[in-house]
Structure formats: C-alpha cells, structure tokens
Amino acid sequence: MSEILEKIAECIEKGKIDANSPHPPDMKGQDGADEYTRKALDEGVSPEEILADALVPGMKVVGEKFANGEVFIPDLLMSSKAMNAAMAHLEPFFDSGEVKAKGTLIIGTVQGDLHDIGKNLVGMVVKGGGWELIDLGVDVSPEKFLAEIEKHPGCAVGLSALLTTTMPNMERICNSIKENSPDTKVIIGGAPITEKFAEKIGADAYYPDPQGAVEYLNSI
C-alpha cells in the first residue's frame, strides 16, 4: 500500500476527519481523511484503490476493535465521520458508474421499533466496507422492505430490533421476504436477538457486531 493510502486508512481507523478536527488529540493540526483523499485523487490514485486499499482496511480495523471491545461507540462514530469525509470525494465516481460497489444492503429497524443506533452503526461499517447502503430508517413495514427489494435485485437485507415486543414483527418481515423473494439473504441483529431466534424465523445470519455482518456480506 502506498504511503498516502496508509495515511487515509490511519485517519479512518483513528477518526481523523480533516485538518480542523481536534480528534484524536495526537493528530491535532494534521491533515485528515478529507485532505488525504483529495490529494490521492490529485496524484492519480484511482477511486477503486482508495476504496479497496484505504477505506475498507481502515473500517475493518476499527470494526474488529469494536467487536473485541477495544474501542467504543464514540470511536466508531468518529471513524464513520472520517470515512464519510473521504467518501464525499469518491461518490461522484460511484454515481457515474466508474466505481462499482460490492453489492447492496437494504437496512431498517422493524415495524413498531424506533431505535436506530445499532442499525446506524452497522450501516456505517457496511458502507465503509464498499457496499451500497439503502437505509429505510425506523418503523419499517414488510411492504416497504419488499418494494425496495424489487428495485434492487440481488440485494441483501438487514433487520434490526431493540425491543423484545417487536421481535414478532421481525419474524413477520423475515417470513414475508422469504415468501416473496426466497433468494434474498436476510441478516438480523439487535440487543434481544440470538442465534437461536435467527434459526427459528429462518433468517440467513445473525451477528452481534457490525464487522461480522460485513464479513458475511463479503462471503456471499
């Protein structure tokens, strides 16, 4: 990996957004993901290289650290902001079709549940892993998931729930997806969710952390 790509990856891992960002303290006053990504493009580094060799490795490291309890939600949020600063320079290339995403994940908190922190954390890491993310928000009905699946053939779906009272809705949505689009992979997660529950409702995968979800998506 070239030096500038290593710098971008380090900024993603440590949550260094730009030169004006005071976080982290040991990088205060230094360029961040914003400046280094712009500089890389100016030097002729391809958007694909920046994504594959800087953003993805940087988010992978912080995702693994989060899964292992070595960093926490605020750290992951800062890494996500740094990743978004870099992605702002790459998005025109995605929009033009010059850079292809690995695939598409449709994500949402299930009907009746308004919590979104877990969903948002997964979305950050998935997007940083090179996937197109379609976030349907909270309180999402089966019909809304199905309509979006129809627009994106070959996508995967992520269902999130925090309340035990909305777990039956997760089951209903999963069943509806499997009945109408049996080949669509469904990943579930949330504080009350278990591997046993995933098996019970016919979901394809359950992960307690964002990095596990990304690794599963990469495997399919």
Q: Is the pLDDT of residue 35 over 90?
A: yes
**Claim to verify: residue 55 and residue 128 sit in the same structural domain:** no
**Claim to verify: residue 70 and residue 110 sit in the same structural domain:** no
Cβ atoms of 14 and 77 within 8 Å: the answer is: no
| Domain end position, chosen among 71, 95, 119 | 95
| Domain end position, chosen among 40, 70, 95 | 95
Mean pLDDT over all residues of the chain?
Answer: 94
* Dihedral over alpha carbons 199, 201, 202, 207 (to 10 degrees): -60
Number of domains in the chain: 2
Range of the domain at 37: 3-95
- pTM value? 0.81
Residue range 148-204, pLDDT digits in tens: 999 999 999 999 999 999 999 999 999 999 999 999 999 999 999 999 999 999 999
What pLDDT was estimated at residue 1? 54
What's 62's domain CATH number? 1.10.1240.10
**Claim to verify: residue 212 and residue 119 sit in the same structural domain:** yes
> Is the backbone of residue 152 left (phi > 0), alpha (psi -120 to 50) or beta?
beta
Neighbouring residues of 96: CB distance < 8 A, sequence distance ≥ 6 = none
| Domain end position, chosen among 47, 71, 95 | 95
Higher pLDDT, 177 or 130: 177
Q: Is the pLDDT of residue 136 over 60?
A: yes
**Claim to verify: residue 67 and residue 118 sit in the same structural domain:** no
Higher pLDDT, 169 or 118: 169
What pLDDT was estimated at residue 113? 96
Up-side HSE of residue 178: CA atoms within 13 Å toward CB? 12
